Amino acid sequence: MSEEAKLWDIIIVGGGPAGVAAAIYTGRSLLKTVVIEKAIMGGNVVNTERIENYPGFHGGIEAFELAAKFRDHAAEFGAEIKNEEVQGITLEGNLKIIETNQGSCRGKAVIIATGLIPTKLGASGEDKFWGRGVSACATCDGPFYKDLVVAVVGGGNAAVEEAIHLTKFAKEVHIVHRRDQLRAIKLLQERAFAEPKIKYQWNSVVKEIYGSDVVEGIELEDVRTHETRKLAVDGTFIYVGLKPISDWVGQMVQRNKQGYILVDKDMQTNVPGIFAAGDVVNPDYRQVVISAGEGARAALAVEKYLTEHWSS
157 pLDDT exceeds 70? Answer: yes
1 pLDDT exceeds 60? Answer: no
3 pLDDT exceeds 70? Answer: no
Name which of 204, 200, 208 is nearest 134 in CA terms.
208
pLDDT band at 62 (very low <50, low <70, confident <90, very high): confident
Provide the CATH number for the domain formed by 120-238 in this structure: 3.50.50.60
Average pLDDT estimate for 61-67: 84
Neighbours of 119 (CB within 10 A): 14
Phi and psi torsions of 158, nearest 5°: -60, -45
Half-sphere exposure of 312 (CA within 13 A, CB side): 0
Taking the C-alpha atoms of residue 57 and residue 257, their distance in angstroms, rounded to an integer, is: 37
Active-site residue, selected from the candidate residues 9, 105, 141, 279: 141
139 pLDDT exceeds 80? Answer: no
Q: Where are the domains of the chain?
A: 7-117+242-310, 120-238
Taking the C-alpha atoms of residue 151 and residue 39, their distance in angstroms, rounded to an integer, is: 26
Average pLDDT estimate for 205-214: 94
Same topology, domains 7-117+242-310 and 120-238? Answer is yes
Name which of 247, 301, 280, 282 is nearest 109 in CA terms.
301
When comparing pLDDT for 53 and 220, which is higher? 220
Neighbours of 26 (CB within 10 A): 32
Which architecture does CATH list for 7-117+242-310? 3-Layer(bba) Sandwich (3.50)
When comparing pLDDT for 58 and 181, which is higher? 181
Average pLDDT estimate for 249-259: 94
Indicate if 247 belongs to the active site.
Answer: no
Average pLDDT estimate for 277-286: 85
User: Is the torsion defined by CA of 52, 57, 58, 63 positive or negative?
Assistant: negative
Number of H helices, E strands in the chain: 6, 19
What is the per-residue pLDDT for 146? 95
The mean of the pLDDT values for the chain is 92
pLDDT band at 283 (very low <50, low <70, confident <90, very high): confident
Taking the C-alpha atoms of residue 267 and residue 286, their distance in angstroms, rounded to an integer, is: 16
Indicate if 105 belongs to the active site.
Answer: no
- DSSP secondary structure string, 27-93? HHTT--EEEE-SS-TTGGGGGSSEE-SSTT-TT-EEHHHHHHHHHHHHHHTT-EEE---EEEEEEET
What is the per-residue pLDDT for 5? 65
295 pLDDT exceeds 90? Answer: yes
Taking the C-alpha atoms of residue 206 and residue 122, their distance in angstroms, rounded to an integer, is: 9
170 pLDDT exceeds 90? Answer: yes
Average pLDDT estimate for 212-224: 95
Taking the C-alpha atoms of residue 44 and residue 117, their distance in angstroms, rounded to an integer, is: 8
Give 78-118 pLDDT, tens digit per residue: 999 999 999 999 999 999 999 999 999 999 999 999 998 88
Predicted structure pTM score: 0.77
* Distance separating the N- and C-terminal Cα atoms of the chain: 22
Active-site residue, selected from the candidate residues 140, 180, 247, 264: 140
Taking the C-alpha atoms of residue 278 and residue 293, their distance in angstroms, rounded to an integer, is: 8
Indicate if 140 belongs to the active site.
Answer: yes
What is the per-residue pLDDT for 166? 96
Least confident of 43-52, 130-139, 156-165, 254-263: 43-52
